[in-house]
Amino acid sequence: MKEGYPITSFGIVANPHKDETKRIVPELIRWIEERDLSFALSEELVPLVGYKEKSYPVPDLHDKIEALIALGGDGTILAAARAIGVDNVPILGVKVGGLGFLADITPDELPQTLDKVKAGRYGLSERMTLETIFNAKAYVALNDIVIDKGASPRILDLSIRIGGKFVNTSTADGLIIATPTGSTAYSLSVGGPIVHPRMEAIILSPICPHVLANRPMIVAGDETIEVTIETARGDVKLTVDGQINYALQQGDSVIVRKGSSSVKLVRASSRTYYDVLRAKLKWGVREG
């Protein structure tokens, strides 16, 4: 984990639909202003807190701030990572909501954490991304890229090549291609392995495979994955980080490789990665 550096300019993004946002964001702005620091916020927050003169679309924040504070669940952080994290802007995730692995702290821990960040007493966890190329356009994912059958009850035949070499044709409901960060997301729910986020690897996890011998695979992070829709008996979709969706057709090929940029997550708490796993996955917890 890399050492941090003093931060004096913060960006703020938050899920405007969460009740806590209207309370936490004004408190956060007040903390920043009391210390004569600067801030900018996403334009979605203006109806809640004002400061229109300091608001911008999220992708435009990167050259106005030194770090981004993302308040919400993993979805908020994933969206921020795609929009601005790949521009080398560190992201501090604040957990507001339910289950999530990406946020480092709770709202109650925010003031003391920001004191650490202001002083440079924090670490940076660098996370690998994936890039998919479809229809001559590139999309970046921090968690995963998924090809699945959508609402159709029919399974898919997916031809998989790794590094240009044919691997197999997977007959399944779909395929999850995940980063180590995404190994604790959708991939985990279909039996994929947990992979430490410092590793550079790509995880391929079939969704409900027709043949039980078709198991999850971990391949080197510098490999190129090509998935071709061989047989589609209904709708097929490509999903990036669970948030961006595109329709696929029989014969389409999707290429996935390691992204050209990583995402830096601020780590200022004393909790380790294994502490988070124990808490989120309830390891060692016995039902009474």
Q: What residue segments make up the domains of the chain, in order of their start? A: 2-128+262-281, 130-258
**Confidence band for 64, pLDDT divided at 50, 70 and 90:** very high
pLDDT of residue 17: 86
Is the CATH number 1.10.760.10 carried by domain 2-128+262-281? no
- CA 261 from centre of chain: 13
Spatial CB neighbours of 214, under 8 Å, sequence gap ≥ 6: 168, 170, 171, 172, 206
pLDDT per position as a tens digit, 70-102 = 999 899 999 999 999 888 999 999 998 766 789
Spatial CB neighbours of 136, under 8 Å, sequence gap ≥ 6: none
pLDDT of residue 98: 67
Q: Across all residues in the chain, what is the average pLDDT? A: 92
Contact status, residue 77 vs residue 97, Cβ threshold 8 Å: no
Integer Rg of the chain from CA: 20
Instruction: State yes or no: is 63 an active-site residue.
Output: no
Q: What is the pTM of this model?
A: 0.93
Q: Which CATH superfamily is domain 130-258 in?
A: Probable inorganic polyphosphate/atp-NAD kinase; domain 2 (2.60.200.30)
Residue 9 has pLDDT above 90, yes or no: yes
% of the chain at pLDDT higher than 90 = 77
pLDDT of residue 99: 65
Spatial separation of the C-alpha atoms in residues 199 and 214, rounded to whole Å: 24
Residue 287 has pLDDT above 70, yes or no: no
> Of the listed 36, 74, 241, 252, which one is catalytic?
74
Q: How much is the average pLDDT of 151-165?
A: 92
Q: How much is the average pLDDT of 194-219?
A: 95
% of the chain at pLDDT higher than 70 = 98
Q: How much is the average pLDDT of 250-275?
A: 93
Residue given tokens 């044709």 in the structure block: 169
Spatial separation of the C-alpha atoms in residues 232 and 230, rounded to whole Å: 7
**What is the DSSP pairing of strand 9-14 with strand 38-42?**
parallel
**Confidence band for 232, pLDDT divided at 50, 70 and 90:** confident
Q: How much is the average pLDDT of 109-136?
A: 92
User: Which has more confidence, 69 or 153?
Assistant: 69
Beta-strand ranges (E) seen in the chain are: 2-3, 9-14, 38-42, 55-56, 67-72, 91-95, 123-127, 130-134, 137-141, 144-148, 156-162, 165-172, 174-178, 201-207, 217-220, 225-231, 236-240, 244-248, 253-258, 263-267
pLDDT of residue 33: 94
